A and B are shown apart, each in its own frame.
Chain A
Amino acid sequence: MSAPTASAPPVAATGGAGPAPARPRRRMAGWFILPATALLLVFFCYPLAFVIWRSFTDPSAGLGNYTALLHDGVSTTVLVRTLVTGLIVSACTLVIAYPYAYTMTRVGPRGRNLMTVVVLLPFWTSMMARNFAWYMLEQRGGLIDDAFSAVGIHGVVLLGSVPGVAVAMVQVMLPFMVLPLYSGMEGIDKRLLDAATSLGAPRWRAFARVYLPLSLPGVLSGFTLVFILTLGFYVTPALLGSPQESLVAQLIATQVSKLLDFGGAGALGTVLLAVTLLALFVVSRFANLSSTTEKAVTND
């Protein structure tokens, strides 16, 4: 998946001007972007702007929806729960994905191909099928419950709880973490580790002092990407969570589909959007999110 950074990264800006001196700027080529741009303006930008507009005007003009959001006793709790869940999911995904991505850079081409396929398959397989699978695993009497019962811990039913949602989300999000991590690590010269050990650093310290810092841009990209995606995730919490402990996506959906409260939903959506843009802005100062993730999507 790819993310635009708030400020266009310099690499992308100069990327078009290759070494070939003879490249007549074709004016006509510029028109090619018009149809797609028009579609996005009408069916993406306008709806978004409309939602934000409604959050300030529906049912009455002003900040009413936002003050309600602060005082209804539910929205803030749900928002905080969503942010915390997002952070925990991102952290867990990172811990699991890091060794995997690191290994991808160390194995031979055949091993790397296999590992890439293993990551890409869930990336592309039906979201509904995966959520259904977790539904079965987490239900009462499901595999997870059975496994814990077998070692004497009874009643581990993750279905209908925030941990249940988080566990499934970690699995669903793993590809989004592995791919940016890998494309970041791929650019690190592996001989640096050898160099560090030859200079007298033990292997683990060489890793901590040399490799880890160099892999941070990838870590930052992956973490932000996963965090942002969890914020807007609807299907997993709707299927595996519970209305009593809902995440913000469920709350928005309920407000729109059950209550037709576009103003209130719009306010929540605007907050979500603001958090997303803030996260993107922060990360764009440290890492080139779009380039690492673009590479990840196209698997190059």
Chain B
Amino acid sequence: MTEQASTAAAAGRPGLRAGRDGGVGWGLRSVVALTGLVLIAPTAVVIPMSFSAGDTFQFPPEDWSLRWYQAFFSSEKWMRSLLTSVQIGLLVAVTATVLGVAAAFGLNRAGFRGRGAIRSLMMAPLIVPGIVVAVAIYGVFLRWQLNGTAIGFVTAHTVMALPFVVTVMTTSLAGYDRTLDTAAASLGATQVTTFFRITVPLIAPGVLSGFVFAFVMSLDEVVVALFLQTPDIQTLPVQMYNSITLEIDPTIAAASSLMVTATTLVLLVPQFVRRKRSTP
């Protein structure tokens, strides 16, 4: 079809372009490569460490073994903290997603005074210094006897995960073309049909990202969890923290490697899915 040809031609003449090849010289290239290395490499050392055969944090290890993985999976303490973290993380992801998606909808669709203030409130848990949030929640939870309870962990983490969900959803809704609603109405669809057939499928990726962000955030959170912990309920990061400061237990290397691998997968999967969707 000639039409395609002419659009291709149109795309091929965007006017004067910045000289891309001239932009990145070898000097800049090496600086960037070094920075990339600094970003990635330090975390990567936990992986060889996890295959160490030694009893200390000696790095690089002198002998290799799978003993720390075995220790991780056979230790009741580690497995319980993993389970705790996953359970809390899922609960947090569900509550934060429900509350955050609703809030983002409210912020996006409703016009009322004080919208800016509400938006700032939603973002505040990210800005208030982490230690202050932790101490504040700890102080109140002591009185409410929520320390060391699942409800305590879930509410605290939900508060901290909300900004992520709201941000992701706000962006997702801002990119949502409201003309589609109008178009659906003109084609005979009721508001309810439009919501379920047009809106929901289109914002689903945003909701999914929000869910994943909230889960990962909770799974990774240490500071509040350190304060809320009791011997009965400890999350995985808390157990990791204790294994460095109290126990010098190299099982943490196995735990870290597993965490790094898991978060990498969890984060890359949605990106991969999105890419698959957008390209034929």
**Chain A contacts with B in 217-257, Cβ cutoff 8 A:** 228-229, 231-235, 238-239, 248-249, 252-253, 256-257
**Chain B contacts with A in 15-46, Cβ cutoff 8 A:** 16-20, 23-24, 28-29, 31-32, 35-36, 38-40, 42-46
B108 and A194: CB pair below 8 A?
no
Q: Is the interface of A mostly helix, strand, loop or mixed?
A: helix
With A and B bound together, what is the CA distance between A249 and B223 in angstroms?
A: 10
The answer to whether B269 has its CB under 8 Å from any CB of chain A is no
Our count of residue pairs bridging A and B at CB distance below 8 angstroms stands at: 320
The answer to whether A288 has its CB under 8 Å from any CB of chain B is no
B216 and A124: CB pair below 8 A?
yes
Contact-size category for B: 35 or more
With A and B bound together, what is the CA distance between A136 and B43 in angstroms?
A: 10
- Give chain B's interface residues, CB within 8 Å of chain A: 16-20, 23-24, 28-29, 31-32, 35-36, 38-40, 42-46, 49, 57-60, 98-100, 102-103, 105-112, 115-140, 155-156, 158-159, 162-164, 166-168, 170-171, 174-175, 178-179, 182, 209, 216, 219-220, 222-223, 226-227, 237, 240-241, 244-245, 252-253, 255-257, 259-260, 263-264, 267-268, 271
Q: Can you give 22 A-B contacts (C-beta < 8 A)?
A: A16-B108, A25-B111, A27-B110, A29-B110, A44-B125, A46-B140, A47-B140, A51-B132, A51-B136, A96-B35, A100-B35, A117-B268, A122-B43, A128-B220, A129-B46, A130-B42, A132-B244, A132-B256, A171-B42, A276-B127, A298-B168, A298-B171
With A and B bound together, what is the CA distance between A8 and B35 in angstroms?
A: 35
Most A Cβ at <10 Å: residue of B117, B131, B133, B139: B131
Q: Which of A46, A54, A276 contacts B129 (CB 8 A)?
A: A276
A256 and B139: CB pair below 8 A?
yes
- Give chain A's interface residues, CB within 8 Å of chain B: 1-5, 8, 12-13, 15-18, 20, 22-23, 25-37, 39-40, 43-48, 50-51, 54, 96-97, 99-100, 102-103, 106-108, 115, 117-122, 124-137, 139, 141-143, 171, 174-175, 190-191, 193-194, 228-229, 231-235, 238-239, 248-249, 252-253, 256-257, 262, 265-266, 269, 272-273, 276, 280, 290, 294-295, 297-298, 300
Q: Which of B49, B109, B139, B260 contacts A125 (CB 8 A)?
A: B260
Question: Nearest 9 CB-CB pairs, A to B?
Answer: A232-B129, A8-B116, A4-B120, A32-B106, A33-B106, A129-B256, A29-B110, A190-B18, A47-B136
With A and B bound together, what is the CA distance between A294 and B264 in angstroms?
A: 22
Q: Which of A122, A135, A137, A298 contacts B40 (CB 8 A)?
A: A122
- Taking CB atoms, residues of chain A closer than 8 Å to B111 are 16-17, 25
- Taking CB atoms, residues of chain B closer than 8 Å to A256 are 135, 138-139, 227
- Taking CB atoms, residues of chain A closer than 8 Å to B99 are 35-36, 39
Known contacts A32-B110, A128-B241; is-contact A228 B155 (Cβ 8 Å): no
With A and B bound together, what is the CA distance between A269 and B57 in angstroms?
A: 34
With A and B bound together, what is the CA distance between A16 and B110 in angstroms?
A: 9
A175 and B39: CB pair below 8 A?
yes
With A and B bound together, what is the CA distance between A30 and B264 in angstroms?
A: 37
A182 to chain B: closest CB distance in Å? 12
The residue in chain A whose Cβ has the minimal distance to the Cβ of B59 is A136
With A and B bound together, what is the CA distance between A99 and B135 in angstroms?
A: 38
The residue in chain B whose Cβ has the minimal distance to the Cβ of A46 is B140
A124 and B139: CB pair below 8 A?
no
Q: Which of B43, B44, B103, B182 contacts A22 (CB 8 A)?
A: B182
